[in-house]
Amino acid sequence: MAPPPPPPPSLPVAEDGGGCVARWIRKEVLFGLALGQVVSLLITSTGFSSSELARRGINAPTSQSLLNYILLALVYGGILIYRRQTLTIKWYYYLILGIIDVEANYIVVKSYQYTSLTSVMLLDCWSIPCVIVLTWIFLKTKYGLRKFIGVGICVAGLILVVFSDVHASDRAKGPNPLKGDLLVIFGSMLYACSNVTEEYLVKKSNRIELMAMLGLFGAVISGIQISILERKELHSIKWNAGAVLPFLGFALAMFLFYSTVPTVLKICGATMLNLSLLTSDMWAVDWIYFVAFAGTAVGLLIYSYKSSKEAEETAQVAGASDEQGKAGDEEAGMQNP
């Protein structure tokens, strides 16, 4: 009896528009975009809180951030102690990150005393080219033409906001806009250093350790800085509801922001995070803001688009990170009977 004939060879299936669309709307891309907008909303909330404190004449930028660092140290430090995990990264790396992060927050929050909320939100986009340069040099991130086009569209959306603000006659400019603007630019450079360092650490370690150590060193550094620079200011503040509520709102928004950022960095990277924060500039009810929002969203999609090969490489890296995390959890479980 003759053997059955071999099955016909499978014909290559041409990639249709559905496959192309699937790469544009992959689950991790949408999740990263959604988280990016969450942190954008949170950073806008911190801006409103800082602006309200500045309007009331309260000038204590380090004190505003202290409660956030204490919350990070208590919550994530408690988890770290419960798991009895040893540090996977040398402590002095976290000390350096803490110094950079505390001073970045100090400088940017200080700028609200001199310039407007809108100017701060606009000028902090300087962190984007800084992040691109730093990730290219230190993390060896490759940026193709498509990514630069995505960045360009995002910035073009931001330019629309600038034009809208130029024509806004009722915008408060602050007592010393030039000084405030320079502080924002310098602070955004420090934020870029902080974001890139966090991206490196969270991919080498884990989110719990990063947040616990950043909270610990951030609280210590902030406490020292407050004792030197802000003791008189804190004594002069009238602690009524108008002063306490913005302090608490700032701390809560910052805590949620810091808790979410490592996930965005692990999924999308520091550049995508800073591009997502561009939408924090677009909360005014003006048609041009909606056009700017749409432009930024299109730019984010173009930047985050990956070919099949790039998606496969990302999946392999994520899989390796998950395996390392599981191994660390199993080791912590053995140490904690």
User: Which pLDDT score is estimated for 13?
Assistant: 40
Percent of the chain, pLDDT > 70?
Answer: 70
Q: Where are the alpha helices (DSSP H) in 268-307?
A: 270-276, 287-304
Q: Is residue 20 part of a domain?
A: no
Q: Is residue 184 part of a domain?
A: yes
Distances (CA, A) of 60 to 38, 167, 200, 223, 285: 26, 32, 31, 12, 31
Per-residue pLDDT band for 142 (boundaries 50, 70, 90) equals confident
Cα 108 to Cα 122: distance, rounded to the nearest angstrom? 12
Provide the CB-side half-sphere exposure for 312 (13 A, CA): 3
pLDDT at 231 over 50: yes
Cα 309 to Cα 272: distance, rounded to the nearest angstrom? 20
Q: Which domain holds residue 84?
A: 31-297
Q: Is residue 38 part of a domain?
A: yes
Per-residue pLDDT band for 154 (boundaries 50, 70, 90) equals low
User: Each residue of 67-83: pLDDT tens digit?
Assistant: 999 999 999 999 999 99
User: Which pLDDT score is estimated for 277?
Assistant: 76
Cα 182 to Cα 265: distance, rounded to the nearest angstrom? 27
pLDDT at 36 over 60: yes
Per-residue pLDDT band for 121 (boundaries 50, 70, 90) equals confident
Number of domains in the chain: 1
Amino acid at 184: V
Distances (CA, A) of 263 to 85, 268, 319, 323: 20, 8, 15, 17
Mean per-residue pLDDT for 157-162? 59
Q: Is residue 4 part of a domain?
A: no
The whole-chain average pLDDT of the chain stands at 78
User: Which pLDDT score is estimated for 24?
Assistant: 46
CA nearest to 254, candidates 110, 116, 113, 71: 71
Q: Hey, what are 172's tokens?
A: 């408060």
**Within 10 A of 41 (CB to CB), how many other CB atoms are there?**
15
Q: Is residue 9 part of a domain?
A: no
User: Which pLDDT score is estimated for 14?
Assistant: 40
Per-residue pLDDT band for 8 (boundaries 50, 70, 90) equals very low
User: Which pLDDT score is estimated for 319?
Assistant: 55
User: Which pLDDT score is estimated for 82?
Assistant: 94
Amino acid at 137: I
Mean per-residue pLDDT for 146-175? 64
User: Each residue of 261-291: pLDDT tens digit?
Assistant: 998 888 878 877 887 776 666 643 454 555 6
Q: Kindly give the interhelix angle for 61-83 and 241-267, rounded to the nearest 10 degrees.
A: 50
- Greater confidence, 181 or 333? 181
pLDDT at 306 over 90: no
- Greater confidence, 250 or 277? 250
User: Which pLDDT score is estimated for 293?
Assistant: 63
Q: Is residue 317 part of a domain?
A: no
Q: Is residue 314 part of a domain?
A: no
User: Which pLDDT score is estimated for 71?
Assistant: 96
Cα 320 to Cα 102: distance, rounded to the nearest angstrom? 32
Q: Where are the alpha helices (DSSP H) in 56-168?
A: 61-83, 91-111, 117-123, 127-138, 145-166
Under DSSP, the state recorded for 223 is H
Cα 217 to Cα 178: distance, rounded to the nearest angstrom? 32
Longest dimension (CA), the chain: 101
User: Which pLDDT score is estimated for 312?
Assistant: 55
pLDDT at 7 over 70: no
Q: Is residue 156 part of a domain?
A: yes
> 80 Cβ partners below 8 Å, 6+ apart?
208, 209, 212
Q: What pTM does this model have?
A: 0.72
